[in-house]
A and B are shown apart, each in its own frame.
Chain A
Amino acid sequence: MTAPLHEPTAEAAPSAAEEAAVAGAETKAVQGRSLGRIAWERLKRDKLALTGGIVVLFLIVVAVLAPLITSLYGQDPDVYNESMIDPLFGTPKGALGGIGGDHWLGVEPVNGRDIFARIVHGARISLLVGFLSALVAVVLGTILGVLAGFFGGWVDAVVSRVMDGLLAFPQLLFIIALVSVMPDSMLGLSGTGVRLLMMILVIGFFGWPYIGRVVRGQTLSMREREYVEAARSLGAGRFYILFKELLPNLVAPIIVYTTMMIPTNILTEAALSFLGVGVKPPTSSWGQMLSSAIDYYKSDPMYMVIPGVAIFITVLAFNLFGDGVRDALDPKGSR
């Protein structure tokens, strides 16, 4: 287990001070810095992580502003541009899948929908599912992990068994199974809405053990610490200890594992859409674009390359940022 993340002034500050000295930014008052501040200063010097973070921010902006971007750009993701298609082969006219001034990334084979517009809209699906399913996992994982670690006994035994079980089995297959037995409409949603909700819930459900395991371990080791004992001896109740003493110290590991979970979730969403259990057409998603590109990898390779690269850049950016956050919040300060 990683070293405890509490008492930042006592444990993490010396190493941060050394690093500050190395960086030439000598600070006189070392003891006053919070863990967040230390982490941010470390992160700032990690060029790769910063690049990842900037790309992530950029993608979030693109996803949020997708309709605005496509209307400024002048192409609708769902409009067919048959004039762009070679009637004989069904592939786009022009080189590289029809890339040009009107269609920056070309058009899809057969129906000629604009790929740039579809990629921009696809970012919404990827990020929405990536973030919200991570949120589901964090909420479930934190609650159950804290319960298991704090109360121990049979609660711990049951939660731990369930976590082991969920971690052992191939997630994608179970997610496919669950999504395929679910109804086409529920809670007033239908079509793409219900598929999105299903993916968020199911991916989140299979992700919580990753958070839960860490939270449980940390809680278990922290509840025996002197400062918790001190609080208890001063007459603090269980809930006070839980919310005021333990949870603040769990924030750092939870942030680390959440950042590292988002790219995995994005890949899972893409895989589900690729396999046809994700969002329904005509809603665009990157996985779905790749799955229709299979039939054209010989005649129109750009159609496959563009969504593939989009997924790759997104996941890579999140991974770089996640690795950086992990290193920055690591109290051992190994870098």
Chain B
Amino acid sequence: MLAYLIRRLFAATVMLVVIILVVFGIFFLVPKWAGVDIATSFVGKQADPAAVEGVRQKLGLSDPVFVQAWEFFKGIFLGRTYAAGGDVTECAAPCFGYSFRTEQAVWPVLTERFPVTLGLALGAAVLWLIFGLAAGVLSALKRGSLWDRGAMVVALAGVSLPIYFTGLLSLAIFSYGLGWLNGEFVPLEDSLTGWLGGMILPWITLAFLYAAMYARITRATMMEILGEDYIRTARAKGLREQVVIRKHAMRSTLTPLLTMLGMDLGALMGGAILTETTFSLPGLGQKVLDAIKNQDLPFILGVVLITSLAVLIANLVVDVLYAVIDPRVRLA
């Protein structure tokens, strides 16, 4: 078990370095190859030439690429100082970039917004796990029944609907039309009931999409497993059907879903851009949209970096959990 953990940790560290370099590549190398002036895209197209020149010096864009990459890398762990002559900008560790446009360090802005995103993701995850798994398992067990066909039609609709359309529709119907919910975000610190009321529609909207995906996958996995030899063996030795399903089939169905859940939660930590935009939730995803509109590249960079790290951590957690629930993994 310990050897397994150390191996995983080592792999995660290597991945961490690779991710940071890839993100650096996307924001500093790709535009260079494509012939875009990086300094201009960091301050915005309307900025005056002196400001652009200042940013060019601060980012060290005329330095060799590996020096730039090293500064970027170092900044994340130790903080970074951007200097252009006497004009010095400090960016404390962890430095996920600095928005020269708004003169803000990226990290504090993002951490401030993170609780909103976290609340959205966790609430939705609870919903989609309950409904997605239940629908998938029941459909697999009662294959071909009215329930199965009905659930799968709903699930197919769920994966075919753009989430921002579902969101807008639910706002129009439940918030504006029927007036059941206020449809506006209220911070949790201000009022618990207000927060809950404002989050119900976003939760359901986001969970609907994921529940549909999970139901489809759970059904397919479960049906495949029910056809396995060991299920036949379990039945042949006279186990009650309930025990076969619960102890044998369910367990193997749920393990691959754990990976999916880990990945999805990790990815959502960077914000559900579309859901947050539709419901005006001030989370990380909405910051990405603001950054697109204001051409404020550093914030996009920051969110990309945070999301990548969240996916990496989620991956690590899933690997560890796997070893706990599946002995084959830790012995391999």
Contact = CB atoms under 8 A, between A and B. Distances in A.
A170 B314 CA distance: 13
Contact of B292 (A168, A276, A315): A276
B243 interface: no
Given A290-B165, A297-B176, A304-B168, A173 B31 contact: no
A160 to B, nearest CB: 14
A174 B288 CA distance: 11
B160 A271 contact: no
B304 A276 contact: no
Q: Chain A: interface residue count, which band?
A: 35 or more
A173 B307 contact: yes
Q: Which of B35, B165, B171, B172 has the most CB of A within 10 A?
A: B165
Chain A contact residues: over half helix, strand or loop, or mixed?
helix
A311 B168 contact: no
B304 A301 contact: no
- What interface size band does chain B fall in? 35 or more
A169 B278 contact: no
B172 A297 contact: yes
Contacts of A304: 165, 168-169, 172
B156 interface: yes
Interface stretch (B89-97, B234-242, B266-274): B266-274
Interface string A49-60: 000000000000
Interface string A28-53: 00000000000000000000000000
A170 B168 CA distance: 23
B311 interface: yes
A320 B303 CA distance: 35
Given A275-B289, A297-B172, A298-B176, 10 more contacts: A169-B307, A173-B303, A181-B31, A181-B297, A183-B31, A276-B289, A301-B172, A305-B169, A308-B161, A308-B165
A22 B69 CA distance: 65
A170 B171 contact: no
A168 B270 contact: no
A172 B156 contact: no
B26 A290 contact: no
B41 interface: yes
A275 B27 CA distance: 19
Interface string A262-287: 01000100110011110000000001
